[in-house]
Structure 1
Amino acid sequence: MEIKTVEMHTGGEPLRIVQSGLPPIIGKTILEKRRYCQEKLDFVRKLLIYEPRGHFDMYGAYIVEPDHSEADMAVLFLHNEGYSTMCGHAVIALGRYSVDYKLVSPVSPVTCVNIQCPCGLVRVFVDFNGQKTGSARFRSVPAFAFDVAVTIETERYGKVVVDIGYGGAFYALVPAERFGLDVKTSRTRDLVEAASHVTACAKKQVKLRHPDSEDLAFLYGTILTDGKDEFQENATANICVFAKDEVDRSPTGSGVTTRIAVQYHRKLIGLNQVRKFESVTGSLFTGVAAEETTCGEFKGVIVEVAGKGYYTGTATFTTEPDDKLGQGFLLH
């Protein structure tokens, strides 16, 4: 097996885009393709995401054939635990990649790339004026507050009150202060420990549902925030811990979408009020509630998130039949 990739990052969060070498991915719909990868091709994910080619916090993307009539392309996202339903940092990078690698015809000054994600169609707007700036923004699928002020019983921290929202994936939101932590100064491992414990407990106690598909109804992770949810000009900081204790180096595109949706639901922000979001690396995304919408019985918003995607290189990965470690392992 020989797999060629293009390597990128958005806000410090890596993205390994597979260009060639994948076995056929079977399925009529994108969710069927996602399930096929889970059931039949997971060894490829481990080859690309796990060591020795990747690491515990690696992230990747397969470009596949869309089944949405408006889509220019479709994408499957992969990480240390499996396959997510939405990834904002990835679609920002993929928007630029699509223009630069001529998957879509560039239009000046802004090229629109319609990307079908497992959660639905996401529209990415790539700045294009003959120069490669890396800047792009995406408009989310309908995002909403699923439930607010939910009390979770935890073994380690007692009762913890969280908000649960959806921004292409479901997250629990809670201020880091609740655990005596600060998202900008505390040790990352302490933040991860608190967030992962909340996720594990919430998964057992909260039954999620999504109007479109049961495949979307799972808690992806917990986002610890600085508690600054009311609108202000300064950036609000957060750390997103998702999948298997994986830490997002970026502010998290789907996480920003979720935070905006919950803030709007709580009437802490209004339409078209642009907010800045800061990650553990100091990188920034902006997010704004662009318009009201609905998703089944949920009232929500379309959120627009902006950031910059950059190239870091290319790679050709190979395997040898007697290399058991080369099939992938994780140290954590």
Structure 2
Amino acid sequence: MRVQDVYNVIYTHTEGEPLCIIYSGVPYPAGSTILEKRAFLEENYDWLRKALMREPRGHADMFGVFLTPPSSRDYDAGLIYIDGKEYSHMCGHGTIAVAMAMVANGLVARDPSGLTRIRFETTAGLVVAEVAHEGDRVLWTRFENVPAYVAAQDIAFELPGYGPLKADLVWGGNYFGIIDLRGTSLRIAPENGSELSRMGLIAREEIRKKVKVQHPTEAHINNLNFVTFWHEPTIEGCLYKNVHVFSAGQLDRSPGGTGTSAMMAYFEARGVIGLNQPITSEGLLGSGTFEGCLIGETTLGTVRAVRPTVKGTAGMLGTASWTINREDPVDAGFLVL
């Protein structure tokens, strides 16, 4: 055992979905863009991602974010999202949580009005959050996400045991393959987690075979990582219940922030909802909701897109100062799949 560098983190959850916020210990190159910062992490600090996301400090479903300095005065901070397997372009449950944590822990100056605005730089684009607070209480976050759009509809594929289905490919900060489970026997519930995970990975591979993924304006965004299953809600007043399957088969416990953005674009394209029509989304656990709204139209290059906002709340779980022995293969992080 020897003295190691120390990395300070904050732990939160958003409707059950965890977040490890890594806010110290990484010497990002001065003046670097968010893409350059991610490349720097991938080349020099990917071991830190693995050590904090994986066992013994994390677990198979841990999610995290590197909270970085801004690259210019146009932003207040940068967000680089991670899990035990890879990096994500954006994360809504994470944005809700990190914005509230920044206000609660003094990482950003509070606006005297009780509504603090934070401009985040992500690898998906600009995300603007507003955090409500009153006295020593931090109440909620609402953020305007990057523009969302439907890239493809009615992608036919076969899901073993559940017959022929169709998926829509939708961008909402990440690309999602959205699949309607109504009419099948597969239900979205924690007790069906293993089956949902297995079917999500199969569906993702089938969709990847059928469509080429490429963002209209961001050349670096060309991957499908998320599959969303949805059916009727179990909470009164919700438009739907869904679960997002991603990376190595992890299940988002929350309704999903980028997922709610994609789902609103999906429903708007099919005429189910309109602009400026608030909706409520239900997640895997059936115990909490997000509020969403499409506040307008825009374009991504020549592609029509919509402007999603998502509102939710997160809870503080604790803080930690981690030391990591990179010479110990167990201490450096491992996964049991």
Same fold (TM over 0.5): yes
The CA deviation string for residues 79-130 of structure 1, in whole angstroms up to 9 with x for no partner, is: 1221100000111111112222333321223111111111011110100222
Task: Show the counterpart of 2:149.
Answer: 144
1:296 to 296, 301, 306: 301
Contact in 2 for aligned 1:226/1:237 (Cα 8 Å)? yes
Work out whether 1:40 is the aligned partner of 2:44. Answer: yes
Q: Which residue of 2 aligns with 1:173?
A: 178
* TM-fit CA distance, 1:249: 1.0
Q: Is the 8 A contact 2:326 2:332 kept in 1?
A: no
Question: Do the aligned partners of residues 68 and 290 (structure 1) sit closer, same or farther apart at CA in structure 2, a change above 3 Å counting?
Answer: farther
DSSP 3-state at the match of 2:217 = coil
Q: Which runs of 5+ in 2 are unaligned?
A: none
Aligned to 1:4: 8
Structure-2 residue corresponding to 1:249: 253
Point out the more displaced range, 181-190 or 20-29: 20-29
Is 1:190 paired with 2:190? Answer: no
Residue 154 of structure 1 and its aligned partner are, at CA, apart by 5.7
> CA separation in 2, counterparts of 1:220 and 1:25?
28
CA contact (8 A) 1:10 1:92 kept: yes
Give TM-score scaled by structure 2 length.
0.91
CA contact (8 A) 1:184 1:237 kept: no
Distance across 2 between alignment mates of 1:137 and 1:15: 17
Number of matched pairs = 329
Correspondent of 1:74 among 73, 78, 88: 78
Q: Distance in 2 between matches of 1:249 and 1:144?
A: 24
SS at match of 2:245: strand
Letter in 2 for 1:4: N
User: CA 1:54–1:25 in 2, change beyond 3 Å: closer, same or farther?
Assistant: farther
Q: CA deviation at 1:197?
A: 0.7
Is structure 2 residue 315 aligned with structure 1 residue 310?
Answer: yes
- Confirm or deny: 8 A CA contact 1:164 1:173 kept in the other structure: yes
Question: Distance in 2 between the 1:287 and 1:279 partners?
Answer: 13
TM-superposition CA deviations, 1:154-201 (whole Å, max 9, x none): 677664310110001100001234652011376111111111111122
The answer to whether the aligner puts 1:215 opposite 2:220 as a matched pair is yes
> Alignment partner for residue 277 of structure 1, among 277, 281, 293?
281
In the alignment, which of 225, 229, 242 is matched to residue 230 of structure 2?
A: 225
Instruction: State the percentage of identical aligned residues.
Output: 31
Q: Equivalent of 1:14, from 18, 22, 25? A: 18
Whether the aligned pair in 1 keeps the contact of 2:159 and 2:199 (CA below 8 Å) is: no
Measure, in 1, the Cα distance between the counterparts of 2:190 and 2:101.
Answer: 34
Deviation at 1:23, TM superposition (A): 4.8
The farther-off stretch of 253-262 and 172-181 is 172-181
CA distance in 2, matches of 1:27, 1:196: 38
